[in-house]
Structure 1
Amino acid sequence: MTDATTPAEPQSAPLDRIMELQRAGRLASDFPVITALLRELDPAQLRLAGQLLARVDPADIRAAHPSTPVLNVALTGHGTLNTLVPALTAELARHGLLLCPVVSDYNGYVFDLSEPDSRLFAARPDLVVCVLDPMMVFDDIATPWDVPAVAAALAEKERLIEWLVTRFEATSGATLVLNTLPLPRRLAAQLVDHRSRAALGAAWRRTNARLLELPERHPSTVVIDLDPLLAEGIPAEDVRLSTYAKVHLSPELFGRFARELGHLARHLTGRTKKVLAVDLDNTMWGGVLGDDGMAGIQVADSYRGEAFRAFQRVVRQLGSQGVLLTAISKNDIEPVREVLRDHPDMTVREGDFVRVTANWLPKPDNLRETAAVLNLDPDSFVFVDDSPYECGLMRYELPQVSTVQVDAEPALHVERLLADGWFDVRELTTEDRSRPELYRGESARSDFLQEFESTADYLRELRIEVRLTRAEVADIQRVSQITLRTNQFNMTTLRLQPADVQALLADPAALVLTVRARDRFGENGMVGAIFVRREGADAHIENFLLSCRVFSRGIEQACLAGLLEHLRGQGCESVLGAHRATAKNAGVRDLYSRFGFERYRDDGAETTYRHPLRDVLAVPEHVRLLFDVPEKETAL
């Protein structure tokens, strides 16, 4: 029995299991199990689980699970930040990521971000989080104060932050995360007249607007807007913690902030989802099509229909930003197509989907088939369904699929879908927005293939054209994105942020090539990248990546043929290329050996191959290669 004066600790079956593992000393050994359990916890339970996980040495988890992706994160700011560590530990673990944190001293952000010999830079972090809070402004203001005094202090902080971001960007290739400044009522309410309060709010929001504009000038910086999080009813601060411990953001806000950081971390480690697979009956529309018919389903102009229309609008909005939409439904296909094509109130139409599957097979089987057709791994999918049975079956059969169960209240569908930021990226590219159309082109190619008795005849008639060009400044975002999102044809899984790509473009010993392709069905866009470094008489292919959309068409051979010929012309005597094995790139482990490279060395983690450049690889007959690399005053 719980004492009435003592808050009860949140309990749940998953949380109980985590606590059992903690008592047994098995948090490190059972880390993969814990990541699944964390996904079932509510925010309060997650905070408690994070406190348990934060006590575990990350080295112990790495020792037990060497393949676990690690993210080195440095935390700095004006206030005390230790309370952010458990929240961030739990959020990263939910995505199968291991946090290795470095926490700065109190109010150490100026030194941390401006001095290359600071402890922050020494940690060589992947991600740097500089937490901004309202007291960094008010601690510098004398009492009594007025709005002009606050406005002056805000302007000074703006100048300081811009300078720090510039200094940091010039020294580090890491991603820097800032946040907007919340304005607690206890500060604004110290002004007794409403006109002054309004003026304070306006000045405060102007500063936040300028913070949000920083990424336009500093592409390695991400600014997380706290206003949408606070609008959910989260308190901005706990006054006691702020006063006594200098923790100037509330534990609840730190928790939501950590969740946003988790979404960003998932993107930075190449784990952003690509496909939204939706059920139809009672998910995209109300009712069961087979029972109610097209006229009987609820889509709009009814009490529940409005909620389903709102959900469809969000699904279509995601599709417009490069998320691939697929439907997986237990229905007959023709009635489904009729609804998607002809129902007057449907917002999402058949053309918005890259694939519509309606049959009576188990949904995991249909998702596997869809993944195979799109040439994507099932872990690229988010599956949404209202049926507990279907969601449970999907979790059991395909645990790598992120399953979102919506319920009988359609007004909550949108919130459930968007809660975990499955598709969040740092920045959208032109290729992102055109991705659904490109994948629909893949369906046309698949249909075209059925007309031929041999793959060779099909490839010959496909009329493939490949363009290899030196990457330019305008390509930086897309090239970075390719390294972050490509997993199957990714030889060394070298993940590069935009600043890393920019540095390579300026490096005279480096060559960054973009791969673009087209065929009789149109443009494929930028589908790959090659990173090369000159070291004496040797050239090292540091990474070679291709989109899964263009596998098995001879494009990889054409790229290597053009590259080897270019490197021989540049005076290189040999070319080295490596394969670093992961759970997803086994399909390309023999790439170099298939194309004339000799096995050179193997250290257990990475196998290196060498090409002597005596007999250069030929371009496949069915591929037209355009190698457009202007000569520059560089080694390559």
Structure 2
Amino acid sequence: MSNHLYSQLGWLQAAPEDFSAQCRQLLTEPAPLGLRLQHLANHALDENQLNKLAKAIQKARAAGTSMAPLVPFRLGILSNATSHFIVPALVATAARHGIALDCIEADFDQVMQEALSPSSTIHQAQCDAVLVAVDYRGLPLNAALGDAEAAHHTVQAALGHLEMIRNGLRTNSKAICILQTLPRPVESAFGSLDMALPGTPRQLIDEVNRGIAQSVAGTEDLLLDVAHLAETVGLADWHDPTLWNMAKLPFASEFLPLYADHVCRLIAALRGKSRKCLILDLDNTVWGGVIGDDGLDGIVIGQGDATGEAHLHVQRTALALRDRGVVLAVSSKNTDNIARQPFQKHPEMLLREDHIAVFQANWNDKATNIKAIAEELSLGLDAMVFLDDNPVERGLVRKMLPQVAVPELPDNAALYARTLQAAGYFEAIAFSGEDRKRAEFYQDNARRVTLQKQAGDVDAYLVSLNMQMTLQPFDDTGRARIAQLINKSNQFNLTTRRYTEADVAAAQQDPNAFTLQVRLADAFGDNGMISVVICRRQQADWDIDTWLMSCRVLGRKAETAVLQELITQARAQGIQRLIGRYLPTEKNKLVEDHYAKLGFTLVDKQADGSTVWELHVQDAPLVDLPIAILRSGFAPKADEKFIVS
């Protein structure tokens, strides 16, 4: 396959013919600017189009126009190469991913100076993250050919150079470091021997890249694997010696949209905007043919047939995504029992019914089915990716549900899986045991929703779940997951304040902070960590700085159980009032009345919709709940059960 899928972002629709005119009109229309920016950015834009959109964003920013619902993010850029041409592409591309990006550039080839100086431009800007865009030409990578010891010292010196940059960033700011791997040069000294001989550029760069990946693992810093990106499109195409010699551009301008998209995927993932659910069409997507017409023996799938193997690859890709926590669902125009037959009976099928969290096979339009899937999974539409071979169905979903990601698919089914993966909808910045189980969490939740619909008595249903809630303060073991939840949770999040792992550790150690991590298990399985709370002491009050919960547990009185724990702990520590704040965003309207429903009293309301609430803890009643409460690490230490009788 040619590089067009990557260089031209082939999973996106082509830009509209009047793209330039739409950019000029952005500030003249009444609709929310952020949504229109995101719509325009969500096309396959070339360098010139990215520049036009970035200029429109710059004008809007200069005019003080709100970018809502785009999430603000400040990115510093340190590079040994020219980075001016990258900035407009990053700013425009970020809008595609729901981010209002502000870039701060350091001077050319001033990487170490900017990182180490507390008064540098990068540090004074208080960036959320810093992109360290250093390639092999910015590191000391010379060693005696064939000398293994000298090669080892060279690699360690290069890694030490990068670690010094990271230490400078950590010391002088709270910014997360985005560290690139190094695309190796095309030219070789010994041909095939380059890979084995110590001291060759090939051998040195490969070792440095392994060291970079190892140094980032288990930290808050992020890895941007530019080496893999360059190898994917071809090193000879990636490196343009003319552009480097003339303008110190680190890669061919053809790949600027691709590079910008990969950077912005990381930023979006950092802000919790990675997709969580893959919705599959069936006919001519998961298998070849139409099950309703061709029957079980007539559909094409499996080994020994090019078309069958292409669709098998789609299934294999879906299962691989599920193994890393992506939820699978089905939306198909079909009779339900017929659509299920291949899952139940076809010997070549890899996907089975128990892999699918929600199965929607009916004659409703796809948009209606997708909304039902989102509701049953308690996920937002912006968590969905819809894979369908039919351009008419893709167009309908894009029009009716613009929040849903719908990749363009080529005519050749052999490229469906590659196109889906190239789009990067499920970009991850970390992977934990809970991530691995996420698909099962949502699948179990869908079963709970189904059972609840069948149950006439909600309280009896909740009791039948045999819920057990574990409550404990922040600890080292849970820190990474706590930070992940804080940065990913958008809907059930009262303030949507974002904190790094370092911030979480600080709260954990702060004697004036009360912290709470909450886990929930039930008869259907373990939901994992479902809530995080941070309270900060202000004299005799606890100011609830952060309160977020997983939407998977809505309607199960989990929020009431968390409040009762806050009341219990507040009384034990002599706290008189809980002060709750609601800071409205585009996504958290769900919790607009959260404090009112829990018995708090409104004490202040601002023009922007933000509110302040209070609850006097001595007057707050404790009620029976259908949840067994297990505490760990608190005083008083006790296991209590609040059960509906």
Q: Deviation at 1:257?
A: 2.4
Say if 2:181 and 2:223, in contact at 8 Å, map to a contact too: no
Q: Deviation at 1:18?
A: 2.7
After superposition, residues 241-260 of structure 1 pair within 5 angstroms as 241-260=243-262
Do the aligned partners of residues 106 and 617 (structure 1) sit closer, same or farther apart at CA in structure 2, a change above 3 Å counting? farther
CA distance in 2, matches of 1:193, 1:288: 51
Say if 2:382 and 2:403, in contact at 8 Å, map to a contact too: yes
Scaled by the length of structure 2, what TM-score is found? 0.89
Are 1:570 and 2:577 matched, yes or no? no
Q: Please name the residue that 1:159 is paired with.
A: 160
CA distance in 2, matches of 1:442, 1:630: 30
Match of 2:122 among 110, 120, 123: 120
After superposition, residues 339-418 of structure 1 pair within 5 angstroms as 339-418=342-421
Say if 1:62 and 1:68, in contact at 8 Å, map to a contact too: no
Q: Please name the residue that 1:586 is paired with.
A: 589
Say if 1:282 and 1:288, in contact at 8 Å, map to a contact too: yes
Do the aligned partners of residues 439 and 32 (structure 1) sit closer, same or farther apart at CA in structure 2, a change above 3 Å counting? closer
Q: Please name the residue that 2:289 is paired with.
A: 287
Q: Deviation at 1:40?
A: 2.5
Is the partner of 1:404 in helix, strand or coil?
Answer: coil
Say if 1:58 and 1:99, in contact at 8 Å, map to a contact too: no
Say if 1:539 and 1:575, in contact at 8 Å, map to a contact too: yes
CA distance in 1, matches of 2:81, 2:156: 20
Is the partner of 1:155 in helix, strand or coil?
Answer: helix
Do the aligned partners of residues 197 and 523 (structure 1) sit closer, same or farther apart at CA in structure 2, a change above 3 Å counting? closer
CA distance in 2, matches of 1:571, 1:324: 44
Q: Deviation at 1:243?
A: 1.8
CA distance in 2, matches of 1:334, 1:123: 59
CA distance in 1, matches of 2:29, 2:133: 29
Q: Which amino acid aligns with 1:83?
A: F
Q: Which amino acid aligns with 2:387?
A: V
Q: Deviation at 1:102?
A: 0.2
Q: Deviation at 1:566?
A: 0.4
Bigger mean CA deviation after superposition, 238-247 or 147-156:
147-156
Q: Which amino acid aligns with 1:381?
A: M
Q: Please name the residue that 1:613 is paired with.
A: 617
CA distance in 2, matches of 1:348, 1:167: 49
Is the partner of 2:295 in helix, strand or coil?
Answer: helix
Do the aligned partners of residues 563 and 453 (structure 1) sit closer, same or farther apart at CA in structure 2, a change above 3 Å counting? same
Say if 2:327 and 2:443, in contact at 8 Å, map to a contact too: no
Q: Please name the residue that 1:8 is paired with.
A: none
Q: Give % identity.
A: 29
Q: Please name the residue that 1:218 is paired with.
A: 219
Scaled by the length of structure 1, what TM-score is found? 0.90
Q: Which 4+ residue blocks in structure 1 deviate beyond 6 angstroms?
A: none
CA distance in 2, matches of 1:448, 1:354: 14
Q: Which amino acid aligns with 1:85?
A: V
Unaligned runs of 5+ in 1: 1-11
After superposition, residues 152-551 of structure 1 pair within 5 angstroms as 153-185=154-186, 188-189=187-188, 191=189, 195=193, 198-199=196-197, 200=200, 201-216=202-217, 218-233=219-234, 235-300=237-302, 301-551=304-554
Q: Please name the residue that 2:631 is paired with.
A: 627
CA distance in 2, matches of 1:586, 1:500: 26
CA distance in 2, matches of 1:451, 1:82: 59
Instruction: Report Cα offsets for 1:380-408 as digits up to 9, x if no partner.
Output: 11111011111111111111111123243
CA distance in 1, matches of 2:21, 2:520: 54
Instruction: Report Cα offsets for 1:45-79 as digits up to 9, x if no partner.
Output: 43112212333246247514344311111001222
Is the partner of 1:499 in helix, strand or coil?
Answer: helix
Q: Please name the residue that 1:4 is paired with.
A: none
Q: Please name the residue that 2:10 is paired with.
A: none
Is the partner of 1:14 in helix, strand or coil?
Answer: coil
Q: Please name the residue that 1:99 is paired with.
A: 101
CA distance in 2, matches of 1:72, 1:609: 31
CA distance in 2, matches of 1:198, 1:524: 48
CA distance in 1, matches of 2:169, 2:75: 15
Say if 2:577 and 2:615, in contact at 8 Å, map to a contact too: yes
CA distance in 1, matches of 2:511, 2:29: 44
Bigger mean CA deviation after superposition, 619-628 or 359-368:
619-628
CA distance in 2, matches of 1:181, 1:248: 11
Bigger mean CA deviation after superposition, 552-561 or 146-155:
146-155
Do the aligned partners of residues 530 and 25 (structure 1) sit closer, same or farther apart at CA in structure 2, a change above 3 Å counting? closer
Do the aligned partners of residues 396 and 15 (structure 1) sit closer, same or farther apart at CA in structure 2, a change above 3 Å counting? closer
Q: Which amino acid aligns with 1:608?
A: V
CA distance in 2, matches of 1:341, 1:108: 61
Say if 1:619 and 1:625, in contact at 8 Å, map to a contact too: no
Q: Please name the residue that 2:563 is paired with.
A: 560
Instruction: Report Cα offsets for 1:146-172 as digits up to 9, x if no partner.
Output: 576776544322111123223423443
Say if 1:554 and 1:620, in contact at 8 Å, map to a contact too: no
Instruction: Report Cα offsets for 1:558-587 as digits up to 9, x if no partner.
Output: 101111220121122222111111222212
Unaligned runs of 5+ in 2: 1-12, 637-645
Bigger mean CA deviation after superposition, 544-553 or 129-138:
129-138
Say if 1:27 and 1:34, in contact at 8 Å, map to a contact too: no
CA distance in 1, matches of 2:258, 2:29: 25
Are 1:32 and 2:32 matched, yes or no? no
